[in-house]
Structure 1
Amino acid sequence: MDHEQAYGPRPRRRGRKVLFGFVVLLLVLAGLLVVADRVAASVAASTIADEVREQVNRQGAQSAPPEVEVGGFPFLTQVIDGRYERITIRMRDVQGAVQGDVVSLPNLDVDARNVRASLDTLRSGQGDVVAETVNGTATISYQSLAALLDREGLTLGERDGQLAVTAPVDILGQRLTVTGTADIVVGDQGQIALRFDDLNAEGLPAAPLARTLLNNFARSISVDVPLPELPLQLTVREVVPRPEGLAVTADARDVPINSVG
């Protein structure tokens, strides 16, 4: 009995050491899998960024290098399944000529969901990588819009949720300050138009000609906004004035990410 008491615990200690070593091995392997998973996701993000950059160039536009993040974990199981939860694309300083004029987008954030790409497509490079839904948000600076209107002293901003304008105007020999708001119209194809139909000026002469001149000024600054062509077939759906600029929302469905031109 004394012999067993003396030597009995040793196999248990040895067993604990083996179990501890096995746990450590599992942790190391898990760590390696996580690293491999993140490396694979990084490679995929880099490839998508290159494709988006090529699309922007083909559209005659330009931007800072796109930043891409592939969401969902683990990534490698998404590769095997051929469906990716989310791909986020961040673009900065998007601009391109539109009939000689352009309103640049300081930022454009794109969120692609439920992206389908079979393993065969990834291996061969043949076939489409399709996003079920793509949503984009961008901001148009008021300074950019004011430069498009090209009126000395004119400023734009947000007031009570509306696009507000202030500008000096000479009417019948008087220097007046015009104020008012604009209606923002989004067309069926995503075109944006500004319509200044409600302008006033303190001290405006009562003569009908003065009101006619003010209306003419309103028409002269009511313009279509020449946005650069958006990547990934994005079409503008809504434009809302915010303190930092016009917030643009765009979307698209069933978009082939790797073949849109």
Structure 2
Amino acid sequence: MRALRILLIIAVILGALFTAVDRVAVHLAEGEAADRLRASEGLASTPDVDINGFPFLTQVLGGSLDEVQVGISDYEAGAGEDGKTIRIADLRADLKGVEFSGDFGSAVADSATGTATIAYDELLRTAKAEPTQVAPGITAEVVALSDGGNGKIKVALETTVLGTKLPEPVPVLSSVTVVDGNTVRVRADALPVLGGVEIAESKVRQITDFEQRIDGLPGGISLEKVQAAEDGVEVTVTGKGVRLAG
């Protein structure tokens, strides 16, 4: 009985030591992976990297991690031609089946899902944010974007009629969708009446409707769907064979 008790105590101690070593190892690996990702993507700051699953050391021996979560703040994504960029305030990705080299010099995830949040003021840069004539004596411009509820965007149009600015912006409820896996499209559900005048649809949509291309996301992930939220648009991202480093 005494021998059994001693064996149990030894087993508990060894288990605790293994757990401690495992947690230290995963912490070091997370730091190394974060540094590699920062270097490969040219990030301004070090991303958050969390390696899930226990024990970590057995995953290392197998050369594959079950799940890795990555968080990047203020990511500068491509915005189409002329080297333009758009800032993604918060990019989060959940990576499954990550195959890696021994020094984390290369890492490829079998699949990835996540979210990217783009603030409204950042998206506003794409809109027609300058006075544009839509009819004789009438100009309009987009001055603000906000959450319209139920996944819609509210576009605020500032309208000037015969040199007089209307006292309040005209609200336009708009749908937001993803096109071709790399573009966010905003399109008015119904056209507003500006200055009490019926205006040709094509003229109004020049102001209310716009698109924002978003490419160059980490590892080649692409846009899947988008909806309006309180602080900006939330884009669901996804990918296969996502390369994190190397």
**Shorter chain as normaliser: what TM range?**
0.7 to 0.9
- Relative to 1, partners in 2 of residues 1:205 and 1:256: Cα closer, same or farther, differing over 3 Å? closer
Question: Taking structure 2 as the reference length, what is the TM-score of the superposition?
Answer: 0.80
Partner of 1:181, secondary structure, is strand
1:154 is the counterpart of 2:143: yes
2:48 corresponds to which residue? 67
State whether residues 102 and 228 of structure 1, in contact with CA within 8 Å, keep that contact through their aligned partners in structure 2: no
Report which of the two structures shows the higher radius of gyration computed on alpha carbons: 1
TM superposition shift of 1:251: 0.8
TM superposition shift of 1:90: 0.7
Question: Taking structure 1 as the reference length, what is the TM-score of the superposition?
Answer: 0.76
2:154 corresponds to which residue? 164
1:45 corresponds to which residue? 30
- Relative to 1, partners in 2 of residues 1:198 and 1:55: Cα closer, same or farther, differing over 3 Å? farther
The CA deviation string for residues 66-88 of structure 1, in whole angstroms up to 9 with x for no partner, is 01011111111112233321000
Greater helix proportion: 1
Give the length in aligned residue pairs: 230
2:219 corresponds to which residue? 232
Q: Distance in 1 between matches of 2:233 and 2:92?
A: 14
TM superposition shift of 1:143: 2.1
> Any runs of at least 4 consecutive aligned residues in structure 1 with deviations exceeding 4 A, and if so which?
none
Q: Distance in 1 between matches of 2:208 and 2:40?
A: 33
Greater strand proportion: 2
- Relative to 1, partners in 2 of residues 1:35 and 1:48: Cα closer, same or farther, differing over 3 Å? same
Specify every segment of 5 or more residues in structure 2 that has no aligned partner in the other structure, as ranges: 131-140
2:238 corresponds to which residue? 251
1:142 is the counterpart of 2:123: no
TM superposition shift of 1:197: 6.4
State whether residues 95 and 103 of structure 1, in contact with CA within 8 Å, keep that contact through their aligned partners in structure 2: yes
1:103 corresponds to which residue? 86
Which one is further off, 102-111 or 165-174? 165-174
TM superposition shift of 1:258: 2.4
State whether residues 135 and 252 of structure 1, in contact with CA within 8 Å, keep that contact through their aligned partners in structure 2: yes
Specify every segment of 5 or more residues in structure 1 that has no aligned partner in the other structure, as ranges: 1-14
Query: Amino acid of the residue matched to residue 133 of structure 1?
Result: S
